[in-house]
Amino acid sequence: MTMTTELYMLAPLVALLIGLAVGKAWERYKLRDGRWIDRRRLRETPHYMLGLNFLVDNQVDQAIDELTQATSTDTDALEIQMILGNLYREKGQVGRAINVHQALLQRPDLRTLEHAYVLLCLGLDFRHGGFVDRALEAFQEVLQLDPKNRYALVNLQKLHEDQHQWTEALHVREQIAKIDAGRRPDDQQILGFLRNQIGTTQASQGNAAAAARTFAEAIDVDARTVPAYLNLGDVRARQGQLAAAVDAWEKLVEAVPDHAYLAFERLERAYQAMGAPKRFIDLCTRLIDRSPQDWRTRLALSRHLSGAGDHQAAFDLLLDALTHHPHGLSIHQEVWAVLAALGFDPALVSRYVALAREAVFYLDPHVCRRCRYRTTELLWQCPQCHEWNTFVEERIAPAKDPEPVSSW
């Protein structure tokens, strides 16, 4: 099961929790047609519990079967209908999901909160089916009923993002951040990335000054907004402000050292243009001293030294890099190039071969389809998740476009 499908399956679970919360409130309040709706009766049928268990186990079809049978005992059970609709949606039966949720909206005695949650489900149906305008409308209606509904806001943000309406998405995210009140660290990160997108649009429209300001704001909002540093430097470089560009890229190296390598090519070229190529060597040396396991900086420095004709120093750096990252194909490729430049000196070749032999490789790796456990041999039972016959030979293929993920 891929990560995407797992995320996919979270939605009905969350819906279930919401449903239960709504149900709880409901239990206390509802006196309908002169009789109390007895929620305990629902729990007396095995179908309800079975359905929930299938749901937790991601067995959608069985969950639908059981929950449908549970509703035949108590057709008024709003939350079960709501979940059923959501399950249809997850199975791709959007029309059916819309029918279920619209039917629920017709109930005359919905409380405000219930009304809001059914509308939310409907909005998700519309979004899933690609009916952008109707989804937008549904989420906005939810917010009129329940202005702090985080799920509606998150989906509204995603809808705007899908249409590259970055400014609108940013406004929505700011509302979410206000609701979260600093409890979620990813708010700042998302605000930073959305600002970076706005800056990218401004830059592509030729509005360099505004773009530079927006990129700087993105960095202020969250210092870990890596692309904003790169873009800020690029904008300044295009405006002929090379020193200011270098400043932005060097700030990235300081603020997010594990992504420093993204600025290497730019910095190397800029230092060269400024007549100070030594600054690149100094920068790399400083980074390697600071984090000895940093193989990317060693690889970059090795390429730089190779370019300057110092193949021997380049080779030593590459072997250091390999001890920290033996699987790195880019390092091996660079080793081959350097060995070729050094005429395949037998002493150096033996050092390389010895190092590669000692490294922890998975020869012909096999991977568990369930939990991603890796092993060299083919196993019939996974030592990690204990599932049977889940190993397949690992093949590396180019990534495909991911499926859309419903965001909750």
Is 332 near Zn ion (CB under 5 A)?
no
Taking the complex as a whole, the smallest distance from the CB of residue 378 to Zn ion amounts, in Å, to 13
Give the binding range for Zn ion (CB under 5 A) out of 127-135, 143-151, 312-320, 383-391.
383-391
Residue 367 binding Zn ion, by CB under 5 A: no
Cβ–Cβ under 8 Å, residues 169 and 205: no
Size of the site for Zn ion (CB under 5 A): 7
- Considering only 373, 379, 405, 408, the residue that binds Zn ion (CB under 5 A) is 373
* Angstrom distance (rounded) from CA 275 to CA 27: 76
Between CA 197 and CA 212, with CA 164 as vertex, the angle to 5 degrees is 20
- Distance between CA atoms of residues 78 and 57, nearest Å: 22
Residue 385 binds to Zn ion (criterion: CB under 5 A): yes
CB closer to Zn ion out of 242 and 379: 379
Helices (H), 207-365: 208-221, 226-238, 242-255, 264-273, 278-290, 295-307, 311-324, 329-341, 346-358
Nearer to Zn ion, 373 or 408 (CB): 373
C-alpha 238/C-alpha 172 separation (Å) is 32
Least Å from the CB of residue 369 to Zn ion? 8
Contact code string over 50-89 relative to Zn ion, x by CB under 5 A? ----------------------------------------
Q: Which two tokens stand for residue 257?
A: 């050292």
> Exposed, middle or buried, 264 (CB in 10 Å: 0-12/13-18/19+)?
buried
Write the CA distances from 327 to 110, 266, 315, 321, 333, integer angstroms. Answer: 59, 26, 17, 10, 11
Do residues 147 and 114 make contact, with C-beta atoms less than 8 angstroms apart?
no
Per CB under 5 A, does 368 bind Zn ion? Answer: yes
- Residue 239 or 389: the one with the smaller Cβ distance to Zn ion is 389
Q: For the window 154-173, what string marks contact with Zn ion as x by the rule CB under 5 A? A: --------------------
If one asks whether residue 371 binds Zn ion (CB under 5 A), the answer comes out as yes
Q: Could you say which of 370, 379, 407, 408 contacts Zn ion (CB under 5 A)?
A: 370
- Segment 228-247, which members bind Zn ion (CB under 5 A)? none
Q: Does 382 bind Zn ion (CB under 5 A)?
A: yes
Closest to Zn ion by CB, 39 vs 370, is: 370
Order of strands across the sheet that contains 374-375:
374-375, 366-368, 391-393
Binding site for Zn ion (CB under 5 A): 368, 370-371, 373, 382, 384-385
